[in-house]
Each structure stands twice: as C-alpha cells, then as structure tokens.
C-alpha cells in the first residue's frame, strides 16, 4: 500500500507573491507589531498592513496577538473587529466584509494538503466572510468557505462548507442550527 513520503514534497509551484524581501520584512513586522502584542494600537497595525498591501477599511479594530500570514492577500471592510490571538492564514485571498467580528482565537485557513497524494501537495482556496458575519471564539473557517451575510459560526465550531446568510452554524463540522434574527 502506498505511503506518504514527505521527502518528495515540493512547494515550489506555490508563489505567495510579494517577493523574498517583502516576505522577510513582513515576517518580522507581523511578529513584532501584530503577533507579539507589544503595540496595542489598532491604528498603527492598520497602517502597517496597508503599507504591506492589505486593503483595510475605516474603523477596523485589531487586538493583540493577531497573526497574518501574507498581508497583501488580505481585504478587510469598515468597522470590523479582529480579536486576540486570531490567525489569518492568508496564503491566498481572504476577504472580510464590513461589521464583521472575528472573536479571540479564531482561525481562517486558506491552505491544506492533499492527503490522497504521497507527495502531500499544497492546496489553497480563498476564504470570504461577507458583511455582518460573526466568527465565535476558537472557531475555524476552512479553505474555500464563504460565510454569507450575517452568518454566525459559534465558538469552537469548524466550518467546512459555505454558510447561508442570516444563519447560525454550530459543531465539528458545523451544521445550520437556526436562523439569525437581528432586532
């Protein structure tokens, strides 16, 4: 029976963009100013993200401990909150709408591996969170998922499929449990 052989893994077809120098500079800027929590100011973090090519709206709050893989693949709308220790693994595009809340410890993944191939090839797909989405604490959104307008992924849940508008999803994997009614 064939087995995985990681010595055959070849990541060279993947190009994250930005160039080597920009990726290196972003690695340190992300580590010092976003991940470390040394600088609690959202305005400087927003400035830094824009400097590296992210498209960031107005009134965005970024809490300490946030980790963003490649800033130039990130788009964030207006008045969005990104909580403590959120990981945005944007190997490819991550689009976050207006008035989105990503609670502490949540993870947005754009990459995985093809476990069916012995070479364990990298797979990437974008993630989209439309306006008004709430991703609960410790929740995970997997690659290729679109969370439609005002969808909710409850704390600790794992989204593996698209989420309908104004719907609440829960579980591992997340399933729709009710409608979201906003009063």
Which positions are annotated as active-site residues? 113
Tokens 């929740």 found at: 139
SS3 51: helix
Distances 49 to 61, 137, 181 between C-alpha atoms, Å:
12, 23, 34
Please, are residues 156 and 169 in contact by the beta-carbon 8 Å criterion?
A: no
In 3-state terms, what secondary structure has residue 31? helix
Give 21: exposed, middle or buried? Use CB within 10 Å, 0-12, 13-18, 19+.
Answer: exposed
């Amino acid at each position: 029976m064939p087995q995985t052989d990681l010595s055959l893994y070849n990541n060279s077809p993947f190009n994250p963009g930005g160039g080597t120098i920009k990726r290196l500079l972003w690695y340190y800027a992300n580590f010092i100013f976003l991940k470390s929590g040394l600088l609690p100011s959202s305005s400087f973090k927003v400035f830094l993200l824009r400097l590296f090519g992210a498209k960031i709206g107005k009134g965005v709050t970024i809490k300490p401990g946030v980790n963003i893989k490649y800033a130039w693949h990130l788009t964030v709308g207006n008045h969005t909150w990104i909580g403590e220790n959120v990981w945005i693994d944007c190997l490819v595009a991550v689009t976050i709408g207006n008035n989105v809340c990503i609670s502490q410890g949540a993870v947005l993944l754009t990459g995985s591996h093809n476990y069916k191939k012995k070479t364990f090839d990298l797979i990437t797909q974008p993630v989209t969170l439309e306006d008004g989405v709430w991703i609960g604490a410790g929740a995970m959104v997997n690659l290729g998922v679109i969370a439609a307008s005002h969808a909710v992924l409850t704390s600790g849940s794992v989204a593996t499929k698209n989420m309908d508008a104004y719907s609440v999803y829960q579980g591992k994997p997340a399933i729709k449990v009710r409608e979201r009614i906003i009063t």
